[in-house]
Amino acid sequence: MPHFFIDKKIAPPCKIELLGGDAHHISNVLRLRAGDWIEISDGLGNSFKAEIDGTSSKAVRISVRSAIKKATRTEPPVLALSIFKSEKFEIAIQKAVELGCRRIIPVKCERSLPHLAKSSASKNERWNKIAIAAAKQSGLPIIPCVEKMLPFETLCNTEMKSENRAMLYEGKALMTLPEYFKSSKKKSGHLLLIGPEGGFAPEEVEMASKSGISSVSLGPQILRVETAAIAAVTIWQYELGNMKGS
């Protein structure tokens, strides 16, 4: 079923009106009509089955019938993603959310292109729109968030310091992600850090290590940043048990 978010408490049975872009998408893009069904979520993890009562280009009237029970998932990883080329960065955001990430932190690294880091504030709204669209597409019941950019040092010293934290690195003789999971302490929080196209600077690798971030590998292949992000999130979600059927 098509999936939409509503910023209000939902208690079925009840009637709700969808306005603006959602109404346009339902009426003019999906061309749904009275009697068709959609899924709505409150953005907090609760989803509901709703029947369309009537449509127009400006408003869609729905009757919320019942709650949808979804499988309980382990908290997905927080993706700390270094700033890189805009289009590829947006692909990484989109696919990470489709795979279940709810929180993405853009990170300014030493080798991040300066003009891309400077423009991150103006692009944050667009990145969040991409994340929300991906959540709708994949049926994620929680509204994801792309946060404001953090400098690498700030991320190392403040974000989830007592939780499982790992960074992808191309050095030799590193643990793979599955090996990291077998050896890591069982904690509830997970942070995955992925560097820019030029990789992490040696000083950043040392800083991360001193702050308790483990260096891990995806293997001998040289991957594009967006490919590495997608592969790493997929492996991480699998290891957490979040790739099982509902």
Could you report how far apart the first and last alpha carbons of the chain are, in Å?
15
Give the pair of three-digit tokens for residue 191: 């942070």
Each residue's pLDDT tens digit, 180-217 = 888 876 667 899 999 988 889 999 999 999 999 999 99
For the chain, the domains span 3-68, 78-240
Say yes or no to pLDDT of 245 above 80.
no
Q: How many CA atoms lie within 13 A of 35 on its CB side?
A: 0
Query: Considering only the top CATH level, what class is 78-240?
Result: alpha beta
Amino acid at 145: C
Choose among 138, 153, 148: nearest CA to 203: 153
pLDDT of residue 43: 86
Distances (CA, A) of 196 to 102, 106, 245: 21, 11, 33
What is the C-alpha to C-alpha distance for residues 202 and 87, in angstroms, rounded to an integer? 27
CA atoms within 13 A on the CB side of 56: 5
Q: What is the pLDDT of residue 120?
A: 73
pLDDT tens, residue by residue, 8-67: 889 999 999 999 889 999 998 999 999 999 999 988 888 999 999 999 878 999 999 999
pLDDT of residue 117: 64
Please tell me the predicted confidence (pLDDT) of residue 100. 92
Can you name the residues that pair with 3 across neighbouring β-strands?
A: 39
pLDDT surpasses 90 at 7: no
CA dist 167 and 80 (Å) reads 9
Average confidence score pLDDT of the chain:
89
Give residue-wise pLDDT tens across range 96-125: 999 999 999 999 999 887 776 667 778 899
pLDDT for res 44: 85
> pTM here?
0.85
> How confident is the model at residue 69, as a pLDDT?
84
As a CATH number, domain 3-68 is 2.40.240.20
CA torsion, points 191, 218, 140, 26, in degrees to nearest 10? 130
Distance between CA atoms of 176 and 55, rounded to whole angstroms? 51
162-190 per-position pLDDT tens digit: 788 999 988 766 888 888 888 876 667 89
